[in-house]
Amino acid sequence: MIKTLETEIVIVGSGPAGATLAKELSKRRKKVVLIERGRREIKLGRMKDGLRFYEKHTFQKSKEGTVLYGTNMVGGTSVVASGNALRCSQKELLDLGIELENDFLEAERELKAAPLPDKCISEGARKILESAQALGLQPKRIPKFINPEKCKICGYCVMGCRYNAKWSAMNYVDEAVKDGAALITQTKAIKVLTAGGKAQGIEAAGPDGPIKIMSDIVIISAGGIQTPIILQKSGIINAGKRLFCDPWMTTYGITKNLNQVKGVNAPGYVLKPQRFILFPVIDPPVQFLLYTGRRSLFGRFPRQKALGMMTKIADEPVGKVHLNGCIEKPITSKDKEKFKEGNRLVKEILIKAGADPKSILTIKQIRGPHPGGTAAIGEVVNNNLETAVKNLFVCDNSVLPEAPGLPPILTIIALSKWLSKKIASI
């Protein structure tokens, strides 16, 4: 016999979206079950930890070779985030009738989003930001959800924070559980159960076999790649189109004596809205070696003397996630123009900051950290984030119709807070 549970609301996925929904709805005394495919990871902060929780224990790639990030664990991809708390898509969502100002303010307060003090910023990153200023690019310090008192400046935010200095959606999951939500881990939602055009619950696979969770309301928050797969399996066949991923490329240059190793990544940024954002960043050692290859191995490209910057663009939403998990994500000619312009500025900044012009190396591997768009408002969900199936909602990066080209966690949290109020009143 298939194990069956009953609840009022089932939420799939415990990333920033699912965790916020669970927290807000259980605070409002709703009976919530939150199911998560991954585990609660205890060991964080090292390369081998990082690899364990990425999709397929490595990095999933599109057919064209772009890496598409997503982690399977309690807290979702926020656990490996760099801690950047920028608002994005606020105006676009307002144009769709979704007013988020108060929810943004609440999220910023809860995450204590603020720029970091100088002690957390490496000499190299500081020099990069000064050089961008000297070139008239008006760099700004970025608000972070990192507590500078606890931060040990190890530079490994993207492997998860072992010092508990960085906020992650795990914090919200804990609050939800305290308020009565049931968290079921290592359980993968397969599809939504429906009858008469209405959601009835979900079918999932757990460590002890299949499980059904019957509920009046179902919310899918499994991230930009997995959400459309669950929807397609549930008969919503127009999900999976319009994939964007805010892809990035990294450029490095070697200096005489400056480095970025002892500091948090991306303490500041240069922004050209709707085109690109530029951040000072340096890859963790194994990735640095992997991407700089023979130059590193033969000692010509020492990480300790490298300055690095990322060009992250707002890409065209032309990708697709197929039912069988295959992903298409072409980089269009418009995307290539944005990369060209951003990379040219990055090169200028790095040289101004002291990098040897002959050493400048732009890594060819394109990486997409924010997959979304695959259940877009206006296409797959309406502006209440409800699908054509009554009481089946989607809330995560998938519902954004256009690539923000900016870190989306704050927006996802604000949107989830907004939706919680709507759902609580059903």
Ligand X SMILES: Cc1cc2nc3c(=O)[nH]c(=O)nc-3n(C[C@H](O)[C@H](O)[C@H](O)COP(=O)(O)OP(=O)(O)OC[C@H]3O[C@@H](n4cnc5c(N)ncnc54)[C@H](O)[C@@H]3O)c2cc1C
User: Which residues have CB under 8 Å from 138's CB, separation 6+?
Assistant: 132, 270
**Binding ligand X by CB under 6 A: which of 66, 82, 194, 260?**
82
Q: How many CB atoms lie within 10 A of CB 58?
A: 9
**Binding ligand X by CB under 6 A: which of 33, 34, 363, 412?**
412
Pairing between β-strand 198-206 and β-strand 268-272 as defined by DSSP bridges: unpaired
Both structure tokens of 103: 């929810």
62 binds ligand X (CB under 6 A): no
Total residues contacting ligand X (rule CB under 6 A)? 38
103 binds ligand X (CB under 6 A): no
Q: Considering only residues 150-169, where is the footprint of ligand X by CB under 6 A?
A: 158
The amino acid that residue 199 corresponds to is A
222 binds ligand X (CB under 6 A): yes
What minimum distance in Å lies between the beta carbon of 294 and ligand X? 25
Nearer to ligand X, 33 or 389 (CB): 33
Positive or negative CA dihedral for 183, 389, 234, 380? negative
93 binds ligand X (CB under 6 A): no
312 binds ligand X (CB under 6 A): no
What is residue 24's three-state secondary structure?
A: helix
Tell me the C-alpha to C-alpha distance, in Å, between residue 73 and each of 13, 49, 54: 9, 12, 9
13 binds ligand X (CB under 6 A): yes
3-state helix, strand, coil in the chain (%, to 5): 35, 25, 40
Q: Cα 146 to chain center, whole Å? A: 16
What minimum distance in Å lies between the beta carbon of 407 and ligand X? 3
Residue 9 sits at φ, ψ, to 5 deg, of: -135, 130
76 binds ligand X (CB under 6 A): yes
What minimum distance in Å lies between the beta carbon of 275 and ligand X? 18
317 binds ligand X (CB under 6 A): no
232 binds ligand X (CB under 6 A): no
14 binds ligand X (CB under 6 A): yes
Q: Which residues bind ligand X (CB under 6 A)?
A: 12-17, 35-38, 69-70, 72-73, 76-78, 80-84, 158, 188-189, 221-223, 226, 230, 369-370, 396-397, 407-409, 412
